[in-house]
Structure 1
Amino acid sequence: MAPDLILLFTNTTEYRRPKVFENILNGKKTVSNLFWGLEYGLLPELGMLHGKNIQIKPEDIGNLIENKLVVTDESGAIKLTELGDQKQRQLSRLLPPLLGDVTKSLRVNQFKDRFLLASQVTSEYSYQNTKYYPLSIQLFDSFVVKRWFQVNKAQLPTALLTPLTQYLTDLKPQLADIFARELVGHENGGQTYQQLALELQVTPEIVELISLHLYTNFADYLMNHSQNTLQPLVTDLWGDNWTTSSKQTYQLFINHHASIEQIAKQRQIRPSTVREHLLEAAIWLPVANFPYANILTNQNSTTNNKEIEFFKFRLKQIYRSKVNE
């Protein structure tokens, strides 16, 4: 993992475990990882680099320490130095904040592939050019774009240009420029992460993250405009970060007032799994939608007291993190 990416997720006030950054970007959804993602304010980044198999190596941390950008404690957690804080601020200014519902996830690389192909096809169509090499993307995604083109052909290029222009107009000029430079069209091959990185004087990994943030926000923009003809390119790519199993447990707990032991028996799972599900629900739900007080004051169980105490402790931590957001 590029040292600059590690810097982005570190801060000056607390030591943070780099393994959490790795797990968050890769999309690991264990309750432990989700909790630390919440603590560090990184849940919006969950799965942002899914499929890349991001790994933080000792030499990545060593590079940051050697350049006096971070310090480390005995556990291997890291914290920014004053110099590291300065560099992080420079990098953060380039990165657009993620918008939309944090409980939803987007297969953003697929959406980006689809949109780049759609913009290329539209551009060539507007020039009445049929002799070009289309971008090579996954077969299913290519089929989605082809079907979209056939349905909207009569409205092109306006059907693509209007929402794109509206989205870019709301961006900072530098971010709009980055987005536009990646686009592929008639006699325009689009710029790579490496080319943009040279101009911006950052690493290609930072440019990639900027780009994925921009496309995630673009997808959210499209979904919030119901008449948008670009919606079919993204609708099926949204998923739910809150697992179905956890939702089922939560519904039994809330709607049927079932105890942890009753839920465990009904669902044929362990009481410890029920607690994990409730912690997951607490992580994803707004504070007002989760019965913290009820659980913390009325927790009766024959299960090992250490399990109950840890469950309560973690729940209190989640509550504290949410009210301090």
Structure 2
Amino acid sequence: MNCYEIIDPRFNSLIDPVAFLEKLHGENRWAEGPVWFADLRCLIWSDIPNDRMLKWEEETGAVSVFRAGVSNPNGSTRDREGRLVTCEQGGRRVVRTEHDGHVTVLADSAHGARLNSPNDVVVKSDGSIWFTDPNYGIISDYVGRKAAQEQETCNVYRIDPDSGDVTVVADDFDMPNGLAFSPDESLLYIADSGWLTDRSAPHHIRAFEVDGDKLGTSRVLAEIAPGIPDGFRVDTAGNLWVSAWDGVHCLTPSGELIGKILVPEVVANVTFGGARNNRLFITATTGVYSVFLNTTGLRYPS
């Protein structure tokens, strides 16, 4: 079945006309945070309300519980040493799984107050870790643990690779969500999904100029509809593959919508993987899907 909506002819060069959308697994309550392990040939993702992370093995297609009782995990990635970095939405912290399996807390507070509920995370080439902190995980007990908000705003943070210091790099978001660097890391794209809980709030992606360990001026790159932008990834040509309520939207580096991968469930996040890094893995409500593309993802640590 053709799963594509061609909006601009440029989209044709990024897709394979005979590739199709595959459903790899169902039975999630809210699938999120896919991360690819090329060395292990597996995909790991979060099932937030069920408080677990699952693993799909490429060679066999087998699905198993990777970890349970992990404080409602959301977005994940890998650092430059191949270690898993995860946003624990319910635990209100960002953690790293070491090679021996033990967990290190990287961030759980800022300015003397607990974080809200870390949502998504990306690692820059210098080893710094950048993450978003909306309040989704503390406004109900479904995808987190209902609690008072201690931070005045919902911020974007940077963890210094040497000192471990946690600093605010952006504080003017309603609900900061997915984030990803451009191929040359001169830009950091950040989604604002405030519209989900406030229909007067944004549902767009902003592009920030990156100035070392700080963010400079920003512009709205694109508004995402229907629904909100959640997690997204960037390919080697700089195109953005963005989650939306009707599938995955493909945006050019200038923010033009040129095509969609149509998915029968609301999409939460994506990541590139597979043997040639040309397979887009999609977490969408109850299901995990994939499709082979005619482009390759950036070689994120994941």
TM-score, shorter chain, exceeding 0.5? no
For normalisation by structure 2, the TM-score amounts to 0.21
Q: Which TM-score applies when normalising by structure 1? A: 0.20
* Larger Rg, first or second structure (1 or 2): 1
Q: Larger % of helix: which?
A: 1
